Amino acid sequence: MTKKDRKLRCKEILNNNPIGYFVIGSDKKFLIETFENHPNWNEKIGVGGRSIFIDRDNFKGRCFWIIRVDGSVVSISYLSSISGVGIKPIDKIKKACRSAITPEINKFRFDNVDYGITRCDVSGVVLTRNNINIDHYDLTFIDMFNLWIKDKDINYISSKIKKENQIYNFTQKGLYWEFRTFHNKHCKLRAVTSEVNQILLRNGKKMTEY
């Protein structure tokens, strides 16, 4: 998806729904993917995100807002998110690392989840295509990432990352496989419902859906 296409879809979501509307489903996932590129994403998300809704900004225009798990709210610009200007090197690396493990997440889902039959590992609720998230446990993704990045040259690794269609990827295969191998060695995955995932957000997880 080009930047132009992404801007158009964000604008459509923002303008085609009423003030006070809570974004759900594929639109919510799309916005999360977009917002994660915001240069101040970590500050915006704070202790973790719960919901996205549409309201007025300080100039009476329309704007997206995030409700954090602690109940606080913050506005976020889709234009700043799409441009990504000023994103920190460490955040670029996190995004590239998430991209690197996407095949592992997809493989786990394919191998372990039979929609309509498999149950959430925490709540026991039957999993469907609409309510499933893949969760890291024992070590969260961020805990594992912090172990991997410790003592590494952040600026060097950041220089080995490229962005294409809002996705950050390692340009050096050695880094790609190093992180993917480290992830598989240190992380456990489980299939949970979106509701359970929201509860886990309170334990320090970010607004990330797989």
pLDDT tens-digit series, residues 71-90? 889 999 999 888 877 778 89
If DSSP codes are grouped into helix, strand and coil, which group holds residue 63?
Answer: strand
Tally of residues, the chain: 210
Given this model, what pLDDT does residue 209 score?
Answer: 47
Q: How many CA atoms lie within 13 A of 203 on its CB side?
A: 14
Q: Which residues of the chain form beta strands (DSSP E)? A: 49-56, 62-68, 73-76, 132-137, 161-164, 167-170, 188-193
User: Given this model, what pLDDT does residue 204 score?
Assistant: 53
DSSP state, residue 127: P
For the chain, the domains span: 3-83, 89-201
Please name the CATH architecture into which domain 3-83 falls: Roll (3.10)
- pTM score: 0.67
CB 143 within 8 A of CB 182: no
Q: What pLDDT does 88 receive?
A: 84
Residue 90's φ and ψ, nearest 5 degrees, are -65, -35
Q: What pLDDT shows up at residue 202?
A: 58
Q: 204 is written with which tokens?
A: 């320090």
Per-residue pLDDT at 175: 96
Separation between Cα atoms, residue 203 and residue 198, nearest integer Å:
10
Query: What is the per-residue pLDDT for 87?
Result: 79
Mean pLDDT (the chain) is 88
Residue spans of the chain under pLDDT 50: 205-207, 209-210
